[in-house]
Structure 1
Amino acid sequence: MELRYYFLILVFTGLLFSASCKGKDNKKNETVTISNHSQKPNIVFIIADDMGIGDLGCYGQQYIQTPNIDKLASTGMKFTNFYAGSTVCAPSRASLMTGQHTGISYIRGNGEFPLRTKDTIISQILKKRGYTTAMFGKWGLGTETTEGSPEKKGWDYFTGHLHHVDAHFQQPDSLWTIKKGEMAQIATPPNSYANEIFTDKAVGFIENQTKENPFFLYLSFTVPHAELVVPNKYLKLYKNDQGQSIFMPEKAWPSGRHYGKQKYPKAAYAALVTSMDAYIGRVMEVIKSKGFDENTLVVFTSDNGTHIEGGRTIEDVEFFKSSSIYKGVKRDLYEGGIREPFIASWPEKIKAGQTSNHIAAFWDITPTLTELSGVKAPSAKSNGISFVNELFGKGTQKTHKYLYWEFFEGGGKQAVRKNQWKAIRLEVNKNREEPIELYNLAKDPSESKNIADQHPEIVKQMDSIMKIAHTPNPIFSFE
């Protein structure tokens, strides 16, 4: 009897200990119950740098090989009306992180303008919800001594570029990383490529995760942004038996300029896109091998339209149809500068092979991921609308009254999309009342015919939106 009594005491003590430990995160004693985690997906958010909507096979590309991204689209939902936060990287990524469009966001243009302490971003929100957070790649929202440095913005792990200009080079001699809660600069191995390092870090991070704790991985590639330098194993896919580009004639980019030299810019651009596709293939393999695929949302997109830098020309853009049927490239607020590929795959929740025409933008990402983590109420400072209902095909999906962008390079620009209507105002820095261009995207997605004169009432509405959506900014000002 005494032995039996002693055994019962041991069992009871073990149950109490198990209950007290259940769901404890080993970081800062945040409580994350396993039952809650069953409702929280792992999130892998992958973003390209300066890639056009037409650069992927699943969006009509004929020359560039992207089998892994195409497969991602076939297993999930492909959006056709999804927009970047801006037409260059820093404001676009700030919009993604904060859930704000460029009419109210703090960062509205390129340059070393960091996020502020009061700018709460998605990594901080998800960390509070029990997620382990990791970012590998291009940051560009705060260097090591600023309020926007990654370790201060909710990232548990980080290796990558802090300064956006450092991200212009494919073989940097150093990267930044979080060590013991602080930023530290580390040397890269000789002849290594940054995006291969980012991929190795991402794969290693996923391998070290468990099913008991949700994770958020933000993989921010620096391709196909110039410079057009790429590992030979990918470049040779676009060379013939004589070692020449299969896209001849090519105009070489010489040495001695900001970006590294490239003999075959068209072949190199295609190879950069294909290299990223291969890296994504590696990430998808480890997600599956770890058994995470059933509870992991994988998203792929690009930060803005394709570029004409480092040897790439507008003729190259037209050859590949990188902007698809759309007008414009990076730094334009025409569709080619801001309409981006957006793919979401989650086999257990998102029906395979779908194409969505839902109109959304980067500022919708934060409320969407926040809702998936179990919090439906969006931030009062967010312009975003969660599109979880669209992803899952359940309920009524709320829509925007309009989408708004502003950009300060090239004379200053504003743009509005409202249903099928698209309005653009150029030379805003010269005159806030410059004439508005108006396009009907339903009939003219290429924005080839300005019909402002035919619809003065619509122009008046768009002008009003441009005035309402814009708020003063101490760094970027039209005044």
Structure 2
Amino acid sequence: MKVSYSYLFSLVVVLCFTTALLGGCKNKDAHATHLNTKPNIVFILADDLGAHDLSYAGSNYYETPNIDALAKTGVEFTQGYAACQVCSPSRASLLTGQSTARHGITDWIGATTGKTWTNAHNTKVMPPEYKHAIPDGHTTIAEALKQNGYKTFFAGKWHLGDEPNTPENNGFDINVGGWEVGSPKGGYYAPWNNPKLDYKYPGENLTMRLAKETASFITKNQKEPFFAYLSFYAVHGPIETTQQKWEKYRYKAISLGVPESGFEMERILPIRTVQDNPVYAGLVESMDDAVGVVLHTLKELGLEENTIIVFTSDNGGVASGDAFSTTNIPLRGGKGYQWEGGIREPYLIKAPMLKNTPKTIDYPVSGIDFYPTLLDLAGIESKPNQTIDGVSLLPLLKGGSLSTRALFWHYPHYGNQGGEPVSIIRKGAWKLIHYWENGVDELYNLEKDPSEQNNVYQNNLKLARKLRRELDAYLVNTNANVPEINPNFDEAKSIKLRENRKNNMLPRLEKQRMDFLSKNFRPNEDWYNSSLTKD
């Protein structure tokens, strides 16, 4: 068969054009795939959950299999801290990467200050003013991610200001349940009171609903990079659970053995010393159940290998004040306190795109570090308008190291739970606490004394004074507000109040503890159909 040269030339042209076209399409597809390989981020924040309120962290009473599984497959930072011992300041630090003195939210939003405080409370100093929202002009982590192509979602507790200081105006495309309050108004079982989230049926569980809303968002947005911020109201008071979970943990407490005493006096208030509250245990398990819904959704959708997961809490477990729910032993104190029980947290990061990550990391880290770490993991250059106090933990996640640095806390207020107005510096093994009531400093070596039982200030004066100078410089640099002396403080009245708490409050708490464990215990009226709900 004879073929003309013109036919061959035409055939070559067609083949070359087709190859070029297919190659171009292939390159275009490859580019599109690359654009969709940004890691998704799921940030799970518990409220008032202590460092030892999880079974993987040493509790033999609470059961948290889903969070345990996350700890097993991710990286556990064994010295993880919240940025504050109460909620709003800590939450602002998570979103801005700043320490509390710098962004100015130094107490839970709604707490009184100055003479208004001292007119109602007989205290040695008057707490200073604080900001009631994230300052204008700041770039939140949600805004930074949104500017780089992420779909952003918020569910649950906000407590960082009322209109216009809402999640929607701080970088979140969608807000489910986030408003000005810091606790679940109406409780954990519908009918609850939340203008940002209506309930579907009487007895619906709020914690599970927030998880399902988060799972729904993930499902609908699985084809684009997303940032889902699930901020539970749990395990904040009022503590509530189902009858089934209460019965389970009542039996477990009894089988483990119920100590005769479950409280002792701290400096100002009684404090719980045992984990045997079956109501709180049920609430913890419900929160873990909800975490499981989100983790299961990621697995079912095949998103596990491209999704960064964070789990942490905003402050220590409530051992004094509020519901006196848990103990943080061997750590001293709890929510609101200046000791480790008030600021040490569960701190987990799962970044599956990193291979051969350490299982545990002992380097002291803080809530301020999530901001630069997540941007680093997402490959986003940080260009915020504010100073970032945190550091990226990516070198640690890759098996490397970071230099020793100072961590700071500034809480010039009184906690409802017995905490005192303080500023704190931790550097290396050493932690110095400065008390604003009397100017006294305490110094602890956390490597030798993690329970903070031995104040070694007098034995280490040179080191203590050096740390104090560094703390003072930080406070000056951040223009920190500090308390003023209350000229009307009544010492005798204060002593009488403490004696009353020791002689009357402590026995009442012991009685309530035993009531919770009694087979005749009945829930409060606002546990609407909690014995019937399946969530």
Return the TM-score normalized by structure 2: 0.73
Amino acid at match of 1:375: I
Contact map agreement 1:83 1:360 (CA 8 A) in 2? yes
Residue of structure 1 in register with 2:412 after alignment: 408
Residue of structure 2 in register with 1:115 after alignment: 134
Aligned to 2:149, what secondary structure does the other structure show? coil
Question: Pick from 199, 202, 210: which aligns with 2:222?
Answer: 210
Contact map agreement 2:154 2:178 (CA 8 A) in 1? no
Shift, 1:392, TM fit? 2.5
Residue of structure 2 in register with 1:190 after alignment: 202
Higher radius of gyration, 1 or 2: 2
Supply the RMSD in Å over aligned alpha carbons.
3.5
Tell me, in whole angstroms, the C-alpha distance in 2 between the residues paired with 1:194 and 1:476. 37
Gaps of 5+ in 2: 1-6, 111-131, 262-274, 415-419, 485-535
Tell me, in whole angstroms, the C-alpha distance in 1 between the residues paired with 2:413 and 2:241. 29
Contact map agreement 1:139 1:220 (CA 8 A) in 2? yes
Contact map agreement 1:223 1:276 (CA 8 A) in 2? yes
Tell me, in whole angstroms, the C-alpha distance in 1 between the residues paired with 2:32 and 2:260. 58
Residue of structure 1 in register with 2:433 after alignment: 424
Q: How does 1:21-420 map to 2 (within 5 A)?
A: 34-38=33-37, 40-112=38-110, 113-143=132-162, 145-146=163-164, 148-167=165-184, 169-171=187-189, 173-177=192-196, 186=198, 189-211=201-223, 213-240=224-251, 266-308=277-319, 312-313=323-324, 317=326, 322-349=327-354, 351=356, 354-377=359-382, 379=384, 381-393=387-399, 396-410=400-414, 411-420=420-429
Aligned to 2:451, what secondary structure does the other structure show? coil
Distance 1:150 1:15, change over 3 A: farther
Shift, 1:173, TM fit? 2.8
Aligned to 1:43, what secondary structure does the other structure show? strand
Contact map agreement 2:56 2:71 (CA 8 A) in 1? yes
Tell me, in whole angstroms, the C-alpha distance in 2 between the residues paired with 1:139 and 1:10. 56
Tell me, in whole angstroms, the C-alpha distance in 1 between the residues paired with 2:354 and 2:248. 36
Tell me, in whole angstroms, the C-alpha distance in 1 between the residues paired with 2:244 and 2:293. 16
Tell me, in whole angstroms, the C-alpha distance in 2 between the residues paired with 1:109 and 1:405. 12
Tell me, in whole angstroms, the C-alpha distance in 1 between the residues paired with 2:320 and 2:454. 28
Gaps of 5+ in 1: 24-31, 178-184, 252-263
Distance 1:439 1:166, change over 3 A: closer
Question: Pick from 428, 436, 442: which aligns with 2:441?
Answer: 436
Distance 1:400 1:362, change over 3 A: farther
Aligned to 2:442, what secondary structure does the other structure show? strand
- Cα deviation digits, residues 258-308 of structure 1 (max 9, x gap): xxxxxx981011111111111111111110110001111111111100114
- Cα deviation digits, residues 207-245 of structure 1 (max 9, x gap): 11234x21111111111211111233433321449x999
Shift, 1:344, TM fit? 1.6
Amino acid at match of 1:35: H
Contact map agreement 2:245 2:282 (CA 8 A) in 1? yes
Aligned to 1:364, what secondary structure does the other structure show? helix
Shift, 1:12, TM fit? 9.3
Return the TM-score normalized by structure 1: 0.81
Identical pairs, percent: 32
Tell me, in whole angstroms, the C-alpha distance in 2 between the residues paired with 1:389 and 1:378. 20
Work out the number of aligned pairs and report it.
Answer: 434
